[in-house]
Each structure stands twice: as C-alpha cells, then as structure tokens.
C-alpha cells in the first residue's frame, strides 16, 4: 500500500471522528445562547464556578515564576460567560474561541457595552492555532471532552506555541470516578478519568505545576479539577 493511501480501517476511524464532531455541533446548534444553556440547566453553579476559578488563578500568581497579566484566551468560550464573569477582571485583553456561530454572536452582543478588548475566533479547538507567543493564560474549560485524544494532544501542542515566557494553560474539566472514559451520546462528548487527562498532558509535552479540585459543587455532579500546565 502506498504511504499516502489510507487503509479501510483508517477511513473508518476518520468517519467515526467526523461523526463525533458533527453530532456535537448539531447538538449545540439547538442549545439556547444563555448561561443555563451553556451549563446544561445548571446556571445556579455559575457563580460558584467563577469564584473557584478566581481562587485558583490567584494561587497561580503566588508562584515564583508566575505569568504576566496582559492577555488571556477563553477556549471554548460559548457566550462569553467566563470571559465576562472572570477573565476580564484579571486581563485587559481576552480573546474568545468558539465554533458555534450563534454563541459567538451572543458573546459579541453581551460584551459590546463593556470595556472588552480582544478578538473573536469562530473555529473549533481541534482546528484552532494561536498566534505565537501572545498569551499569558490560556483558559480552557468544559470543552476538552469534545476533542478526541489525538486532537486534544495536538491542540495542547499548538497552545504551547501561543504562550509567552512563563505563560500557562489552565484546563478545567469534569473527571470520572470510575477510572474509565464515559461517553455522552446526547452531546457527543467524553468524560475522562484523572489518569488519562494527566497522560494526555504529558504526551503533549506539558507538565502540571498546580492542580486543585473545584469546591462546593453539588455532590451528584462529576468531580471538577483545574490543572495549571506549562511546557516541559
């Protein structure tokens, strides 16, 4: 077989991955561009979530080699809930990346009356490549479950190039307690166990410098953890 010719198995894998992304896109197209929509009907946890993120960010800036405070990225930004409720309070410039156009339009609309400065990128994280060496913090929350393992590793590798010296990527994600990957066919996403998330971070050439569990979430939800990671 020629090196540039894919086997039937490879084509089948590609087809499954395409369906994985297409099904997710179709799901989110039907979701209203509201906080309740972004959080699956759990808008009541938004304030707890944002405060937990702020505490974690504060702890990062207590590190000896802490990042700057000029520009951040909101990866999988949705309607800008995290940008407006948290990141803009810490960074004068915040860029948003979101593949669903009607979410991004809602973000632009809600941010227009504010002092928001930053760019809007209408693209999925699996295809997004940041500008080189521009971000102090890249905040990526509740979206990595929509990436395959391979695309997650590739995304993180590209993110490394977008970091300034001492810059960090922060991942905030649900984790399974079963030790297994759990698939949600409703929104076409996966929830990974802690060990796999750590493994994928390492495969991307990054290391965890700080990790913390989100507190005060309802006990029937997945555990949520924040990981501050940097290039090895």
Q: What is the pLDDT of residue 17?
A: 80
pLDDT tens string, the chain, 232 residues long: the values are 444 444 454 556 577 788 999 999 999 999 999 999 999 999 999 999 999 999 999 999 999 789 999 999 999 999 999 999 999 999 999 999 999 999 999 999 999 999 999 999 999 999 999 999 999 999 999 999 999 999 999 999 999 999 999 999 999 999 999 999 999 999 999 999 999 999 999 999 999 999 999 999 999 999 999 999 999 9
Q: Which residues are annotated as a binding site?
A: 76, 81, 125-126, 141
Q: Which residues are annotated as a binding site for S-adenosyl-L-methionine?
A: 76, 81, 125-126, 141
- Which structure tokens are listed for 100? 């669903």
Q: Which residues pair with 206 in a beta bridge?
A: 231
- Structural domains of the chain, with CATH: 8-231 (3.40.50.150)
State pLDDT tens for residues 107-124: 999 999 999 999 999 999
Alpha-carbon span 35 to 80, nearest angstrom: 9
Residue pair 158/187 in contact (Cβ under 8 Å)? The answer is: no
State pLDDT tens for residues 54-69: 999 999 999 978 999 9
**Which stretches of 64-133 are assigned E, i.e. beta strand?**
71-75, 93-97, 120-121
Question: Could you tell me the CA-to-CA distances from 116 to 74, 179, 191 in Å, in that order?
Answer: 13, 40, 32
Write down the pTM of the prediction: 0.93
């Amino acid at each position: 077989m020629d090196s540039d010719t894919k086997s039937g198995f490879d084509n089948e894998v590609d087809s499954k991955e395409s369906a994985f992304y297409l099904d997710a896109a179709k799901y989110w197209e039907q979701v209203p561009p509201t906080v309740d929509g972004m959080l699956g009907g759990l808008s009541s946890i938004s304030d707890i979530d944002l405060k937990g993120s702020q505490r974690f960010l504060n702890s990062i800036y207590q590190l000896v080699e802490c990042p700057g405070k000029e520009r951040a990225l909101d990866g999988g930004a949705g309607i800008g809930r995290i940008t407006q409720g948290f990141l803009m309070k810490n960074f004068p410039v915040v860029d948003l990346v979101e593949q669903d156009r009607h979410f991004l339009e809602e973000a632009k609309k809600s941010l227009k009356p504010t002092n928001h400065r930053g760019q809007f990128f209408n693209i999925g994280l699996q295809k997004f490549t940041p500008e080189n060496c521009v971000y102090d913090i890249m905040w990526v929350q509740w979206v990595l479950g929509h990436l395959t393992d391979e695309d997650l590793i590739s995304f993180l590798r590209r993110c490394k190039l977008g970091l300034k010296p001492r810059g960090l990527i922060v991942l905030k994600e649900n984790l399974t307690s079963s030790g297994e990957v759990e698939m949600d066919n409703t929104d076409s996403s996966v929830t990974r166990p802690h060990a796999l998330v750590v493994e994928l971070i390492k495969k991307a050439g990054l290391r965890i410098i700080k990790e913390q569990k989100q507190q005060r979430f309802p006990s029937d939800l997945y555990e949520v953890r924040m990981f501050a990671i940097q290039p090895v």
